[in-house]
Amino acid sequence: MMRIRISILSQCIEIYDDNDFFYRRYSISTAKNGAGEQRGSFRTPRGRHLIRAKIGAGQPENAVFVGRRPTGEIWTPELAAAHPGRDWILTRILWLSGREPGVNRLGDVDTMRRYIYLHGSPDTVEMGSPGSIGCVRMRNRDIIELFNLVPPYTPVDIVEFRVDGAQTETGAPTASAYGPAGEPLGSGHLRVDGCIDGLAVLEPWRGKGVGTALLDRLQESAAERSMGQVWLDVPRARTEFFQRLGFRQQGEAFLDSGIPCLRMIRQLPSVS
């Protein structure tokens, strides 16, 4: 199944295909009030979500929606000038629903009842910086492409961290994760033989998608370099995490400093 990650800090959406490989990245605009789940906060909710409904198929680009229904209007600068205070929802709507009761589902934190969407926006709206009143704004051409790509119930993770890619002095790709205040959360690097080395995430941030995001970025770097595969040696107790991400065991278990370990390997697609 495809999956989507939205980074509030990076102001971008990343799309992963049915084989769980990186596919596309879009610039976005989330809430100018920052992250938050409370009804009436005008903030972008965090956590695990899914696409509950797709609205607007077949509508022309810049079609105007109010209450999730097309008004028959087409956005133009003249229409915008006539309605200066309007929050424009254009072209397509992907309506999000939370998956975590008490966090972003049910009660006063329910994402769907807060009417949080991914939607198209006027070309005059700046992307790459916060500016919405809670929703995730996208360029019209991008929301059309995304709308056509993803089916209903596609998982959507909205995270409050970013992952930056860089290189060491020797040219080895690295990935580093940072939190809301710029604090380091984890990192890893890619060796020339395809080994993902030094992968680590701080304890308080484990289970929040940071490790997955670091692996995603390093695998993207490996595919760009036509490496063909990536691998790493992990303690037996942690193999389930890597199996969920498409890694498979190679060979038999071995001891590393007295700890039973397995080599996990993943074949990568070629990048044209």
Sequence-ordered strand ranges (E) for 75-149 = 89-98, 117-121, 136-139
Choose, from 119, 189, 195, 261, the residue flagged as catalytic. Answer: 119
Burial of 241 (0-12, 13-18, 19+ CB in 10 A): middle
And the tokens for 164? 């930056």
C-beta of residue 140 within 8 angstroms of C-beta of residue 28: no
Distance CA 128, CA 16 (A): 20
Residues 6+ apart with CB under 8 A from 109: 37, 38, 39, 45, 98, 102, 103
Say which of 135, 189, 195, 261 is annotated catalytic.
Answer: 135
- Is 195 tagged catalytic? no
Cα of first residue to Cα of last residue in the chain, in angstroms, is 23
119 assigned to active site: yes
The residues that are catalytic are 119, 135
